[in-house]
Amino acid sequence: MPDLIGVSLKAIVLDHWTSGYVDGLDYTHGFYRVLTPAIISMAALSRGCRFDAPLETLKYCELGCGQGFSVNLLAAANPGIEFYANDFNPAHIAGARGLARQAGLTNTHFFEHSFADFTEEKSLPEEGFDIIALHGIYSWISAEARAQVVDFIGRRLKPGGFVYISYNTLPGWAPIMPLRRFLVDQAARVSGPITSRIDEALKAAQSLVDVDPAYFRLNGPAASRLESMMPLSRNYLAHEYFNRDWTPFYFEDVARELSAAKLSHVGSANLFDQIDDLALTGPQQAFLAAETDPVRREALRDFVLNEQFRTDIFAKGQLPHSFRSGVGVWLNTRFALSVQRDEVSMTVKGRGGTRELHAHIYEPVLDAFAKGPMTVRQLLAQPGISGISWEHLSLALKVLVGTRNLEPCLPEEGEEERLKICQAFNRAVCRRAEESDALQFLASPVTGGGIEFGRVEQLILLAISEGQKDPAEWPRFVWSVLAPQGHRLFKDGKLLQSPEENLAEIAARAEKFRTSKLSICASLKIGL
């Protein structure tokens, strides 16, 4: 594949320690739900694949962890798991270690290593890892670095272990690749900080759009992508689009590279993507079913869907469930609603269009989980469930997890220990909300994962932890933090200027928090 970065920028970065990866701008502090061990295990289970490592005590590794926020949150919610992670950016590792220290975490191990150096790290567990995760890494590193990643997996993943990997995919990215080339080359033509060069590149692209070029006229996805990029964080754009190495892959090529580490494909980590009825027409399903090679079938599926981004699970020695063993795991799996019962839409939008959920199936399931977390075995004893077939019930659970209304949970045993550690982590995160809105998720000892909380919501939780139980007190507390920093809220796309406007908006958000989010905090035991 040709170099996509532009000669002048290439000359600057080739001999730099970053090896062409953007530095000078820290990556965003995101939490990625799909990295949660319970989600990965659930995705494999729904594909009929065994995962025998106990969720409470497995060994977990994230390659290229960025700011390390996902690792720290998962470590708080899963204190029995030892988490190891690397990133070559020293600022990222310093920040990740700092948050772990502030939260009192003892089960995180962060390394400022390249992939090659990390492979040789002596303190990694000798028995290997049960899960190795790479989120947003594979398409943004060189072929040499990808070979090092595959070598790491081959040497460090246990037999029976899982790899989660996400990457940009062809053919979906094909119309947009020339736009990316234009932006990167344009950024290389000017000097200054990377943020200002990105701004200049976007302006130049808009100037090109204004003359109605055939490229944009005939490639609607490129024009839409450019428009969507304009308001995005320049930090995000720098890391997403402006690295020297940037490679969208055909699925077959990724599967071939990972086969060198003895990996075979299990399925998508996104349960919604596993449900063909929501993504494919009848003729499309029949077309794919006629292909007997599973790798080729996945590749053809990407053409049918014009796939742009994949979130895949691979296994090193795939062990299938029997029907009986699979149902046994389902029965013992606990689930919990992550939104209020009345906020769950009975309409879902899949790749194949909008579908209405069958009320006689989903209403009793949602009513049951509105009572609190429960296992599938406990669910079967709830009113209205006995008449639902196993096929329809398991599908409903997958749909609700895929739409992020339902979360697979950890066993109830050990929850009190997890609660104390999550509270310390959440307190550290909410304390940081006094300074910025960088951290947007809190840990749940019930799900073993994270739930999104905005800055105002975190400050309200901080107020509650400091004894301000009266909701009428919350807006003043929040505004007392934001006002001295010059922070103003947005409403309907408009920046609010006056203290009265901001207080009114904070009060509206506080009321919504009181009437909806507080019940979820109680159910998922999220607090300080």
Residue 367's domain comprises 323-409
Number of domains in the chain: 4
The verdict on 272 and 140 lying in the same domain is yes
> Is residue 22, in this structure, part of any structural domain at all?
no
Give the strand order in the sheet containing 334-337.
374-375, 334-337, 406-409
Confidence category of residue 121, pLDDT binned at 50, 70, 90: very high
C-beta of residue 133 within 8 angstroms of C-beta of residue 164: yes
Tokens representing residue 341 in the block? 């019962």
Residue ending a domain, among 241, 269, 299, is: 241
Placement of tokens 């890892």 in the chain: 129
Q: Domain with 270 in it: what CATH number? A: 3.40.50.150
CB 510 within 8 A of CB 477: no
- CA 485 from chain centre, in angstroms, equals 30
Would 127 be classed as within a structural domain?
A: yes
pLDDT average, residue stretch 422-432: 97
Asked whether residue 140 falls in the same domain as residue 281, the answer is: yes
Question: Would you place residue 14 in the very low, low, confident or very high pLDDT band (cuts 50, 70, 90)?
Answer: very low
Nearest CA to 115 among 132, 96, 102, 100? Answer: 132
Residues 424 and 392 grouped into a single domain:
no
Assess whether pLDDT exceeds 90 at residue 3: no
- For every residue of 362-406, DSSP letters joined together read HHHHHHHHTT--EEHHHHTTSTTTTTS-HHHHHHHHHHHHHTTSE
pLDDT of residue 54: 84
Same-domain status, 203 and 227? yes
169 contacts 196 by C-beta, under 8 angstroms: no
**Banded pLDDT at 27 (limits 50, 70, 90):** low
State the pLDDT confidence band at 239, using cuts at 50, 70 and 90: confident
Q: Would you place residue 332 in the very low, low, confident or very high pLDDT band (cuts 50, 70, 90)?
A: very high
| Position 511 pLDDT exceeds 90 | yes
pLDDT per residue as tens digits for the range 453-502 = 999 999 999 999 999 989 999 999 999 999 999 999 999 889 999 999 99
- The answer to whether residue 24 scores a pLDDT higher than 60 is no
| pLDDT, tens digit, 9 for 90 and up, residues 185-194 | 999 888 888 8
| The pLDDT value given to residue 266 | 97
Per-residue pLDDT averaged across 127-153, rounded? 96
Mean pLDDT, the chain, whole residue set: 91
Same domain, 294 and 436: no
Which sign, positive or negative, has the C-alpha torsion 276, 281, 282, 288? negative
Residue 112's nearest CA partner among 163, 59, 60, 66 is: 66
Q: Which of 202, 219, 241 is the last residue of a domain?
A: 241
Residues 289 and 358 placed together within one structural domain of the fold: no
Within 10 Å of residue 89's Cβ, how many Cβ atoms?
A: 20
* pLDDT, position 320: 94
Examine residue 23 and state whether it is found in any structural domain, yes or no.
no
Phi, psi of 494 (to 5 degrees): -110, 135
The amino acid at 291: E
> How much is the average pLDDT of 182-207?
90
Among 126, 123, 120, smallest CA distance to 152 is for 120
Residues 328 and 311 in one domain: no
Q: 475 and 516 share a domain?
A: yes
Q: What is the mean pLDDT of residues 119-135?
A: 96
Asked if residues 34 and 269 have their Cβ atoms less than 8 Å apart, the reply is yes
Within a domain: residue 155?
Answer: yes
What is the model's pLDDT at position 315? Answer: 97
Beta-carbon contacts of residue 168 (< 8 Å; ≥ 6 apart): 139, 246, 247, 248, 249, 308, 309
- Shared domain for 59 and 137, answered yes or no, is yes
Spatial distance between the Cα atoms of 411 and 403, rounded to a whole number of angstroms = 22
Contacts of 226 (CB under 8 A, 6+ apart): 179, 202, 205, 206, 209, 216
Q: Is 22 a residue whose pLDDT tops 70?
A: no
pLDDT at 396 over 60: yes
- Domain match, 85 and 227 both: no
What single letter denotes the amino acid at residue 265?
Answer: H
pLDDT of residue 331: 96
Same domain, 144 and 278: yes
- Statement: residue 6 has pLDDT above 50: no
Q: What is the pLDDT of residues 96-113, one digit of tens each?
A: 999 999 999 999 999 999
Which residue, among 330, 323, 337, has the nearest Cα to 375 in the 3D structure? Answer: 330
